[in-house]
C-alpha cells in the first residue's frame, strides 16, 4: 500500500466539541485530522432474534434458572443465546467473509439509534459488538463515585445520560445480549487530551478505569435506585473480553492489564491494513482499517468520525448542500473496503461507528445502507468480535499463518495453497533429518 495522506488519521485533541450521546468520537492522536450471519457453523447470529426494540423482553431476574449476582444488577442466565458453533476450515475451502460492525459508547437516548440498529440487525441476521461506556449506567447525581485517573472525581469529557436514558440504555443492553450481540466496553470518561488523557495512563490507572467501568454496570441497581427493571442477563465480568479505547489511545499500557483480566482481543488500533488478524501483546488485534476513499488518492479509517473529519473538517453541522454527496461518498468508502476484501484475500472487515446525528445523520444512513448491501452478499458472516475470536481460535494455526501472508487486495491463485494444512513431519523423520549419522 502506498503512503497515506495526512488526513487519513485524526487527532484526538480535536474531538472535545464533537459529541454523540455525549460521546466524543474516537481517533488516533498520531497526526492531523483523520450475509448475513446464519445458522451454519462459524456463521453469525441465529436467524430468529427475540424481543422488541424497546428491550421489553429482557430476562426477568426471577426467570427460571437465573441466578442474581451482587445487588441484582446482573445475573447468570446460562450460555448466551443465538451463538454459532465455530468450525474449522476444510482443506482448500475459501474462507467466509467476516464483517464486524461495532458501536463506541453504545447508549440509548431520544434518537433511539441503539434500538434502531437492533432492528436492522434482526432484519439482516447480523450480530454486532456494542461497546458500552460505563458511566452511561451511572446517574449524574452520583457522578462523584467515578474517580477518573488523573482527574477530579466525577470529571468526564463526555456527558452523563439523563436518568430516563440510563433506563433505556439498560433495557437495550439486556435485550441486545439476548439477541446474540456482544457487550464490550468503551471505558468511562473518554479523556483524550495530551496532558492527562488516556494516552498517558499507566497500566495501574487503566486497571482502575476498567474496574470502575465494570463496577458501574454491575451496580446500576444500587446507583440508580431502579427497582422495576430486570437484571442484565449476563455476568459482565465474565462476558467482557474486549473493547476499544477512547480516541484509540493508550493501548500499550492497557493491554497487559486487559489480558490479566481475561480479555481476548483489542479493537483500538488505528489504520490497520485489510489483512488477516494476528496477536499483539497476547491479544487478537482487530484494528480500524484503512479503506479506499472515493474521489481521493488517500485512504480513510473505517469509522464515521474519520469521514466527518475529511468531509466537513470535523464540523458536525457541515454545509447542507454537500451532505448528499458526503453520504454517498461514505457509503462508497464502506463498500470499497468490503469489496476489496470480499473479492480478494477475504480478510475480516471491521467498521466502527457511534450513535450520532452528525451532518444531519448522513453517516447513520450510509452505514445502514452498507450493512444491508453487505448482508445480501453470499458467504458473508456479520458477526461480533467475540464470535470472530471463537472462530479464529478453532482454526489450524498453520492455516491462519498462511492466510496472514496474503497482502491487501491479493487474490490467491488457489485457496488450497492457503487453507490446506501442511502435513506434519513424523517424529522419526524429523529426528533422522536432525541427527547426523556416524560411520
pLDDT exceeds 60 at position 358: yes
pLDDT at residue 438 in the model: 37
pLDDT at residue 31 in the model: 30
pLDDT exceeds 50 at position 385: yes
pLDDT band at 54 (very low <50, low <70, confident <90, very high): low
CB 160 within 8 A of CB 139: yes
| 2 in a structural domain | no
Higher-pLDDT residue of 102, 20 = 102
Higher-pLDDT residue of 7, 336 = 336
What is the CATH number for 75? Answer: 3.20.20.370
pLDDT at residue 13 in the model: 31
pLDDT band at 65 (very low <50, low <70, confident <90, very high): confident
pLDDT exceeds 60 at position 149: yes
In this predicted model, what pLDDT tens digit does every residue of 266-286 receive, in sequence order? 999 998 999 999 999 999 999
Range of the domain at 264: 19-434
pLDDT at residue 271 in the model: 84
CA distance 407 to 262: 31
pLDDT exceeds 50 at position 255: yes
pLDDT exceeds 90 at position 430: no
- Of the chain, the percentage scoring pLDDT greater than 90 comes to 80
| 285 in a structural domain | yes
| 3 in a structural domain | no
pLDDT at residue 56 in the model: 46
Give me the mean pLDDT over the 288-313 stretch.
Answer: 97
Where does residue 433 rank: exposed (0-12), middle (13-18), buried (19+ CB within 10 A)? exposed
pLDDT band at 45 (very low <50, low <70, confident <90, very high): very low
pLDDT exceeds 90 at position 36: no
Compute the mean pLDDT over every residue in the chain, rounded to the nearest whole number. 87
pLDDT at residue 301 in the model: 97
Lowest-confidence region among 12-26, 118-132, 222-236: 12-26
Q: CA angle 267-259-246, nearest 5°?
A: 35
Q: CA angle 134-139-145, nearest 5°?
A: 70
| 34 in a structural domain | yes
Give me the mean pLDDT over the 192-216 stretch.
Answer: 96
pLDDT exceeds 70 at position 4: no
- The 3 state secondary structure assigned to the chain is CCCCCHHHCCCHHHCCCCEECCEECCCCCCCCCCCCCCCCCCCCCCCCCCCCCCCCCCCCCCCCCCEEECCCCEEECCCCCCCCCCCCCCCCCCCCEEEEEEEECCCCCCCCHHHHHHHHHHHHCCCCEEEECHHHHCCHHHHHHCCCCCCCCCCCCCCCCCHHHHHHHHHHHHHHHHCCCEEEECCCCCCCCCCCCHHHCCHHHHHHHHHHHHHHHHCHHHHHCCCCCCCECCCHHHHCCCECCHHHCCHHHHHHHHHHCCCCEECCCCCECCCCCCEECCEEECCCEEEECCCCCCEEECEHHHHHHHHHCCCCCCCHHHHHHHHHHHHHHHHHHHHHHHCCCCCCEEEEEECCCHHHHHHHHHHHHHHHHHHCCCCEEECCHHHHHHHHCCCCHHHHHHHCCCCCCCCCCCCHHHHCCCCCCCHHHHHHHHCCCCC
* pTM passes above 0.85: yes
| 264 in a structural domain | yes
pLDDT at residue 422 in the model: 80
| 209 in a structural domain | yes
pLDDT exceeds 50 at position 171: yes
Give me the mean pLDDT over the 10-36 stretch.
Answer: 37
| 29 in a structural domain | yes
Lowest-confidence region among 132-146, 256-270, 425-439: 425-439
pLDDT at residue 359 in the model: 98
pLDDT at residue 63 in the model: 63
Higher-pLDDT residue of 15, 228 = 228
Residues recorded for the chain? 439
pLDDT exceeds 70 at position 46: no
pLDDT at residue 26 in the model: 54
pLDDT band at 350 (very low <50, low <70, confident <90, very high): very high
| 10 in a structural domain | no
CA distance 398 to 418: 9
Structurally, how many domains does the chain consist of?
1
Amino acid at each position: 500500500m502506498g503512503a497515506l495522506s495526512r488526513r487519513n488519521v485524526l487527532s484526538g485533541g480535536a474531538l472535545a466539541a464533537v459529541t454523540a450521546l455525549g460521546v466524543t468520537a474516537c481517533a488516533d492522536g498520531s497526526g492531523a485530522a483523520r450475509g448475513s450471519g446464519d445458522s451454519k457453523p462459524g456463521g453469525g447470529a441465529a436467524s430468529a432474534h427475540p424481543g422488541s426494540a424497546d428491550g421489553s423482553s429482557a430476562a426477568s431476574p426471577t426467570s427460571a434458572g437465573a441466578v442474581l449476582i451482587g445487588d441484582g444488577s446482573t445475573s447468570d442466565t446460562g450460555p448466551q443465546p443465538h451463538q454459532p458453533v465455530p468450525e474449522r476450515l476444510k482443506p482448500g475451502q475459501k474462507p467466509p467473509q467476516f464483517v464486524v460492525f461495532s458501536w463506541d459508547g453504545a447508549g440509548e437516548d431520544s434518537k433511539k439509534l441503539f434500538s434502531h440498529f437492533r432492528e436492522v440487525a434482526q432484519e439482516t441476521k447480523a450480530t454486532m459488538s456494542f461497546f458500552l461506556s460505563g458511566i452511561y449506567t451511572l446517574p449524574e447525581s452520583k457522578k462523584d463515585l467515578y474517580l477518573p485517573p488523573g482527574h477530579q472525581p466525577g470529571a468526564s469529557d463526555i456527558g452523563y445520560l439523563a436518568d430516563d436514558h440510563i433506563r433505556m440504555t439498560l433495557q437495550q443492553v439486556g435485550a441486545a445480549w439476548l439477541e446474540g450481540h456482544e457487550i464490550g466496553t468503551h471505558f468511562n470518561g473518554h479523556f483524550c487530551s495530551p496532558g492527562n488523557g488516556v494516552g498517558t495512563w499507566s497500566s495501574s490507572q487503566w486497571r482502575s478505569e476498567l474496574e470502575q467501568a465494570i463496577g458501574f454496570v454491575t451496580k446500576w441497581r444500587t446507583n440508580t435506585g431502579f427497582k422495576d427493571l430486570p437484571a442484565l442477563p449476563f455476568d459482565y465480568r465474565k462476558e467482557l473480553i474486549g473493547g476499544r479505547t477512547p480516541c484509540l489511545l493508550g493501548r500499550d499500557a492497557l493491554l497487559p492489564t486487559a489480558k490479566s483480566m481475561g480479555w481476548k482481543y483489542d479493537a483500538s488500533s488505528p489504520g490497520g491494513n485489510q489483512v488477516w488478524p494476528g496477536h499483539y501483546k497476547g491479544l487478537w488485534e482487530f484494528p480500524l482499517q484503512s479503506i479506499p476513499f472515493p474521489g481521493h488518492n488517500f485512504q480513510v479509517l473505517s469509522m464515521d468520525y474519520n469521514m466527518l473529519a475529511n468531509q466537513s473538517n470535523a464540523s458536525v453541522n457541515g454545509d447542507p448542500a454537500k451532505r448528499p454527496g458526503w453520504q454517498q461518498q461514505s457509503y462508497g468508502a464502506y463498500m470499497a473496503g468490503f469489496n476489496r476484501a470480499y473479492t480478494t484475500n477475504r480478510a475480516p472487515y471491521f467498521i466502527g461507528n457511534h450513535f450520532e446525528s452528525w451532518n444531519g445523520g448522513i453517516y447513520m444512513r450510509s452505514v445502514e445502507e452498507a450493512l444491508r448491501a453487505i448482508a445480501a452478499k453470499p458467504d458473508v458472516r456479520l458477526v461480533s468480535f467475540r464470535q470472530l475470536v471463537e472462530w479464529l481460535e478453532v482454526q489450524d494455526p498453520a492455516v491462519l499463518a498462511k492466510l496472514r501472508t496474503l497482502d491487501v487486495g491479493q487474490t490467491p491463485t488457489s485457496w488450497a495453497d492457503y487453507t490446506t494444512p501442511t502435513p506434519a513431519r513424523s517424529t522419526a523423520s524429523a529426528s533422522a533429518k536432525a541427527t547426523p549419522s556416524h560411520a
